[in-house]
Chain A
């Protein structure tokens, strides 16, 4: 057993921290207030190679694996959840689907520009009538010569309004359902029949775009089928499994920032003649935060190790997302309480962190879905198949 990070990861973390301090922090409050995507930050991240962290170098990536990607998500999310979301939706799920199941041609054509940051990626699964129940999607893809014709609407798609390359799931055989009847496609925004609908006005992560995508007789060449025909559900679930680890890593960063900020505030804020760091209520909140964060850190990087060493990780990944988002919730809630009224003011980072955090318990599988995944992984070897 060795729990230390190898030297190259330590250097990578240092490089990411520099990027975060120089490029992410100065804009974090501003993009939330102005409700805009920080394209300049993403360009900078691309120059540094940070848009393709988990992918091999031959596909334009850094080759830092899931561990490196978790380091990136942890560090960026300490300062700005919006920026982390913009990167995550491109790299962690948009490009990841192509990396996991794409053909060599598809990887060269689509993964490379995504990994180098030339193009923007998105992942389109959710529909108005298919949230937690992803198998209930209604978007259809019908074969027409060398093309598939897609019809339907996707909602809550991160990066939707400006994505160039989108991984889309559609029904190819309604009689077969999720197992065999659903196929994944790679859609370019220039394809005829593809359109962007309205963007959402969200509580938080306001520096990221969430939009509706509309497919109206959208023609997709047959070579853009992603993974096996009819196995799209598996491609997407595999992608989400991996994505959950890095989402948990983002939560780890958010929670860590809350702990550090609370400690500093408790040291300086005087009430009743002493810094509030001398009050037991504050001690216990800090102790609980630190303990939960320590447990989360071990869970995240152990799971990243499972991914990088090719071991099964589905259950652990769902635990990363579930526990990570809940630890992040408790930590930001305590941080706000320690900051008192100041924590409720939009002049201060805690307020933004509080709003930003809440989505982590919902997107890419709600906490309830994570519990279903974990329970089904536990019960399956016991001979019990559970349904939602």
Chain B
């Protein structure tokens, strides 16, 4: 057992932290207020290599291992959950999925511009009737000569408003469930494709979540990702990694909330001294810090599993489940430490409280994570469960 980061990982961590402190943290409040990421910020992250974080050098990526990638997301989330999520969707859900499943032509065509940030990725799985239940997809893709013709709509597609490359899941064979789902790469300017309504979210306001419309949208057959019918498998594998990524975001967010609470508790005086001298406040701090420490090891252990090539579905779901709960509890307790100030927009904890609540819903609700974990455990005992 060795819990230390290696020299390279430590160097990355410092570099990420410096970048986030200088370039991201000062913008967090503006991103929330304006409800968008400044284009220059994305360009700066691209110059650092963050938008090609998981891609090999041949595609102009920086090929971070999962541990280093989690360090990146953790640091980004300490300053701005929206920025971390935007980058996480682009890398983990889209470019990595194309890297893992794409043909040489697809990789050659799409990955390099994604690494440079010239093209941003969007992941489009959820539909109005298919939230937790992915098998209820209704978007259809019908083969017609050299094309597939897509019809249907997607909701809550992360990065929808800023993306150029959309990873879209549609049914190619309605008679086979869930294996009749296939994945397609759809470019923004494809005829019959339209980016629609942006969800007005409580928090995470720098992340755009949109409705996407497909109206006889013709996608060339060479844009099929993997084989026909492999879509469900591709989506689930992408979501495993996304859940690990999201747990690192939870970790960074929770840590930032704790630090904000500690700072306030030391500076704010009531009853003749800093409120940090009160036992109730000390308990909040101790509980949050303990949970965060436990989360830290779960996140990095899961990342290490991913790096070794082991299966980590259950661990990623566990990290996402308790990560999102720990982050929300930390924001809630640290808001309480702030008292009335915590309810005001001048304090970052107000934003964190709104931002973090999304984490218990996105990329599989807590209920779906519990199902995945229980299913995996009970399967070992020979019991097959359904959601």
Q: Name A's B-contacting residues (CB within 8 A).
A: 126, 129-133, 136, 155-156, 200-204, 270-273, 279, 281, 336-337, 340-341, 343-347, 351, 354-355, 358-359, 361-363, 366-368, 371, 387-388
Contact = CB atoms under 8 A, between A and B. Distances in A.
B241 interface: no
B271 A133 contact: yes
20 contacts: A129-B269, A131-B339, A132-B270, A133-B271, A201-B346, A202-B345, A203-B344, A204-B343, A270-B136, A271-B131, A272-B132, A272-B386, A272-B387, A337-B361, A340-B131, A345-B199, A354-B202, A362-B342, A368-B280, A388-B270
A203 B270 contact: no
Nearest to A33: B200
Given A345-B200, A346-B202, A363 B365 contact: no
Contacts of A279: 367
Question: Which of A272, A281, A337, A341: most chain B Cβ within 10 A?
Answer: A341
Given A203-B343, A340-B365, A359-B343, A271 B353 contact: no
Contact of B201 (A345, A368, A371): A345
Question: Which of B199, B270, B272, B357: most chain A Cβ within 10 A?
Answer: B270
How would you classify the secondary structure of chain B's contact residues: helix, strand, loop or mixed?
mixed
A358 B343 contact: yes
Contacts of A367: 336
A281 B271 CA distance: 44
Interface of B: 126, 129, 131-133, 136, 155-156, 199-203, 209, 269-272, 275, 278, 280, 335-336, 339-340, 342-346, 350, 353-354, 357-358, 360-362, 365-367, 370, 386-387
Contacts of B201: 344-346, 351
A156 B340 contact: yes
Nearest to A346: B200
Contact of B270 (A136, A344, A387): A136
A351 B336 CA distance: 20
Contacts, number: 111
Nearest to A134: B270
Nearest to B126: A341
B370 A281 contact: yes
B340 A126 contact: yes
Contacts of A200: 344
B257 to A, nearest CB: 14
A273 B362 CA distance: 21
Contacts of A363: 340
Contacts of B360: 337
Given A271-B133, A336-B357, A362-B339, 15 more contacts: A126-B340, A130-B270, A133-B272, A202-B344, A270-B129, A271-B136, A337-B367, A341-B199, A344-B199, A355-B202, A358-B335, A361-B336, A368-B278, A368-B280, A368-B336
B132 A340 contact: yes
Contacts of B270: 130-133, 136, 388
A355 B366 CA distance: 20
Contacts of B358: 344
Contacts of B370: 281
A132 B343 contact: no
A201 B345 CA distance: 6
B340 A131 contact: yes
A345 B155 CA distance: 12
Nearest to B338: A362
A129 B273 CA distance: 11
A387 B272 CA distance: 12
Given A272-B386, A355-B354, A362-B343, A341 B366 contact: no
Contacts of A130: 270
Contact of A344 (B202, B272, B367, B386): B202
Contacts of B342: 362
A337 B365 contact: yes
A362 B340 CA distance: 6
A129 B275 CA distance: 12
